[in-house]
Chains A and B, each alone.
Chain A
């Protein structure tokens, strides 16, 4: 499948409204089409839905923890894989939104679904901050490696800043920032319910909420990437000058894509804080910043499906290695990164899916 092949407009029937958007669930910018693919997707979702029936609470909570990270990975997939701007600093938006969720919920409490408002505000804050950084970067016409350096510097400086907020003067309302030790004591996501709010602590309920969000986010991104917006992003990645000559303001598109990536990283951050009721500056540090890159690079950045699967696989692998000590796990991650770049530059999962797809076609003939 050629990622830059253009949709054949003459063959496509004219569609409007909802039908048009639904038709964009499959298209040139995403892998997978036809009944077989969607059958597999439905089966996978059904398997995920029935999973808590077979596993104990701890394992389910752990799976929910994996889901928390996928949003940041998919956001990075859009920014890096589709738009071609390699950002090292997604953790800056992650951390900012995580702290924002904590500060807001500690101040306004968890009644009447206020935690969801806090989640929304935190995500918006991550997105707006990303738009701001994106404005300076893309309207300054910096590209390639410089995007990586600026974003990395942003996240490292944020880490340094948060790490020194230990004193009692660093408080926003009732929320103490607590410096290097991090912030804790914020409520988890809470669903207002007659006869007692449902607190979504790590467990089956949170698992289902997160699963729903992952599926929605995945399908939404598929639609967006196959819409004209996604086509322009890919055009910019393939050849910025050509895209510009065709009349697109590439700075605007890059900035918007970066903002979207920042908002998704923020969603991960806010959900992470809500999941563990805890956030520390090291979530914005150098090691933390490396992890999204590992997930997306190893999974495959050119396709949102590969990014999602790769992210889940790598996190699961990372966690099972952490039993032997996190420093060993990080050595393996580094080695995996170098190996991927040298041997399968498109990503392990992406290459594997492509091979399988080709094999499948050959068998059918």
Chain B
């Protein structure tokens, strides 16, 4: 095999895994990093985004607009749930996990009852391209680009906008932010909505590549949890590098031993990481910077 096709193949495998990890964990990481809440209904927000995307795309909307619809719907649902349920549980993080799990059970089963065991999706767009002897899906490359764009966009949002400053202030010192006139409840609500919207975006982006079943959220959650645990509380110095490292592990193991060993490798990685550096990568990197 020539050098370029071989290295492209490796890059493609890595990019595929990296995009999946970043896109699926972004919403979870935002909600966890900003509010300390693990949202077990994360997979169901992804499912919601995917379902809305697929059905609007089949109704004739162009895919990017359909994905936007999915994102906004998930964000809206997230904000409603925050207002009605999550808001009462901020001082009890363990209970908030349980409540979100309850929501996830309700959502999965309700979709199963209302929409049936599967829904027809949309085909993968953009076709494929040939490099060397193999063909690669262009949409997968677009997903990698979206993952990088997503990280950039979130960075701009949290470090270059007024909302970002207020949100970070609320996270670091909620009492102080409140004393300075910030409506912290609204910030929490918006942040939860943002996290839910990002989950919806993940669903929308992956909708064309998956089968639409009510339990499709479950395919995302192990990977996204593992990334968030390895990354720690900060999405930029934690989740993003964690996704890169885990993507290498996953891509390598998947290429050599198959999909299952990729997943088991992730699990072993997370168990070793929590033993070696509790607090995740972000705590480790921050301590090292000092």
7 contacts between A and B (CB under 8 A): A86-B98, A140-B274, A152-B221, A328-B113, A331-B109, A336-B102, A338-B103
Given A164-B260, A328-B113; A145-B275 close (CB under 8 Å): no
- Interface positions of A (Cβ within 8 A of B): 86, 88, 133, 136-137, 139-142, 144-146, 148-150, 152-154, 156-157, 160-161, 164, 285-287, 290, 293, 297, 325, 327-328, 330-331, 333-338, 341-342, 345
Beta-carbon contact of B267 and A142 below 8 Å:
no
CB nearest neighbor in B for A297: B98
Q: Across chains A and B, which 10 residue pairs bring their CB atoms closest together, nearest first?
A: A334-B105, A337-B102, A334-B106, A338-B102, A140-B275, A334-B102, A140-B274, A327-B109, A330-B109, A145-B38
Residue B38 contacts which of A148, A333, A342 (CB distance < 8 angstroms)?
Answer: A148
Interface centre among B38, B93, B222 (most CB of A within 10 A): B222
| Shortest beta-carbon distance from B3 to chain A in Å | 34
Q: Smallest CB-CB separation from A335: which chain B residue?
A: B106
- Nearest-neighbour CB distance to chain B for A31, whole angstroms, equals 21
Q: Does B75 contact A (CB under 8 A)?
A: no
Q: Count of chain B residues with Cβ under 8 Å from any Cβ of A?
A: 44
Tell whether B225 is near chain A: CB-to-CB under 8 Å. Answer: yes
Q: Which residues on the B side are within 8 Å of A327 (C-beta)?
A: 109, 112-113
Q: Which residues does chain B contribute within 8 Å of A328, judged by CB atoms? A: 109, 113
Given A139-B275, A161-B260, check contact A345 B92 (CB 8 Å). yes
B220-233 vs A, CB cutoff 8 Å, 1 = contact: the mask equals: 01100110110000
Which one of A149, A331, A334, A336 contacts B113 once the chains associate, using CB atoms below 8 Å?
A331
**Interface residue ranges of B145-184 to A (CB < 8 Å):** none
B36 surroundings in chain A (CB, below 8 A): 145
A145 to B215, Cβ gap below 8 A? no
Confirm or deny: B99 has a beta carbon within 8 angstroms of a beta carbon on chain A: yes
A154 near B99 (CB under 8 angstroms)?
no
Contact among A156, A290, A334 with B222 in the assembled complex (CB-CB below 8 Å): A156
- By a CB distance below 8 angstroms, the chain B residues around A285 are 218
Contacts of A144 in B (CB 8 A): 93-94
Contact B106 A140 (CB under 8 A): no
Contact A146 B264 (CB under 8 A): no
Interface string of B276-290 (1 = CB under 8 A from A): 101000000000000
Residues of A within 8 A of B245 (CB): none
In contact, B85 and A145 (Cβ under 8 angstroms): no
Max count, chain A CB within 10 A of own CB: residue among B98, B113, B229, B274: B98
Bound: A341/B108 CA distance, A: 19
The minimal Cβ–Cβ distance linking B158 to chain A, given in whole angstroms, is 22
Q: In the complex the two chains form, what is the Cα distance from A88 to B98 in whole Å?
A: 10
Would you call B255 an interface residue if the criterion is a C-beta within 8 Å of the partner chain's C-beta atoms? no
Is residue B270 contacting chain A, with contact meaning CB distance below 8 A? yes
Residue B263 at the chain A interface, CB threshold 8 Å: yes
Q: Which residues on A sit within 8 Å (CB–CB) of B106?
A: 330-331, 334-335, 338
Question: Which residues of the partner chain A approach B222 to less than 8 Å between Cβ atoms?
Answer: 153, 156-157
**Bound-state Cα–Cα, A88 to B97, Å:** 10
From A139, A152, A333, contact of B225 by CB (8 A): A152
CA A263 – CA B98 in complex, angstroms? Answer: 23
Per the bound structure, the CA–CA distance linking A331 and B214 in Å amounts to 13
Q: Which single member of A139, A145, A156, A345 contacts B97 (CB below 8 Å)?
A: A145
Q: Determine the chain A residues whose CB is within 8 A of the CB of B98 once the complex forms.
A: 86, 293, 297, 337, 341
| Given A156-B218, A342-B85; A330-B274 close (CB under 8 Å) | no
Q: Please, what's the 1-or-0 string for B10-54, where 1 marks a CB less than 8 Å from any CB in chain A?
A: 000000000000000000000010001110000000000000000
Residues A145 and B93 in contact, CB atoms below 8 Å apart:
yes
Cross-interface CB contact of B264 among A145, A148, A152, A161, cutoff 8 Å? A161
Min CB distance B115 to A, Å, is 12
Given A327-B112, A328-B113, A337-B98, A140:B218 Cβ within 8 A: no
Cα A146 to Cα B228 in complex, Å, equals: 10
B271 on the A face (CB < 8 A): yes
A152 to B88 Cα, complex, angstroms: 24
Cβ A157 vs Cβ B267 within 8 A: yes
Instruction: A139-B275, A161-B264, A293-B101 are known; give 7 further A-B pairs, CB within 8 A.
Output: A137-B274, A145-B36, A145-B94, A150-B271, A160-B263, A287-B105, A345-B95
| B275 lies within 8 A of A290 (CB) | no
Q: A146 to B229, Cβ gap below 8 A? A: yes
Q: Provide the residues of chain A in CB contact with B276, threshold 8 Å.
A: 140
CB contact under 8 A between A335 and B229, given known A142-B278, A153-B270, A327-B112: no
Is B73 at the interface (CB under 8 A from chain A)? no
Q: Which of these, B32, B101, B229, B264, contacts A150 with CB under 8 Å? A: B229
- Bound together, the chains give a CA A30 to CA B264 distance in angstroms of 40
- Which residues on the A side are within 8 Å of B215 (C-beta)? 286
Contact A331 B110 (CB under 8 A): yes
Q: How far is the CB of A283 from chain B (nearest CB, A)?
A: 15
Residues of chain B contacted by A137 (CB below 8 angstroms)? 271, 274
| Residue B6 CB within 8 A of the other chain | no
Q: Does B104 contact A (CB under 8 A)?
A: yes
Does B89 sit at the interface, judged by CB under 8 A? yes
Asked if A335 meets B102 with Cβ closer than 8 Å, knowing A149-B225, A153-B226, the reply is yes
User: Smallest CB-CB separation from A155: which chain B residue?
Assistant: B222
| Cβ A338 vs Cβ B274 within 8 A | no
Contact B38 A149 (CB under 8 A): yes
Which of chain B's residues 195-222 have a Cβ closer than 8 Å to chain A? 215, 218, 221-222
Docked pose: A140 CA to B273 CA in angstroms: 9
What residues of chain B lie closer than 8 Å to A139, measured between beta carbons?
A: 275
Chain B, residue nearest A132 (CB): B271
Q: Which residues of B contact A330 (CB under 8 A)?
A: 105-106, 108-109
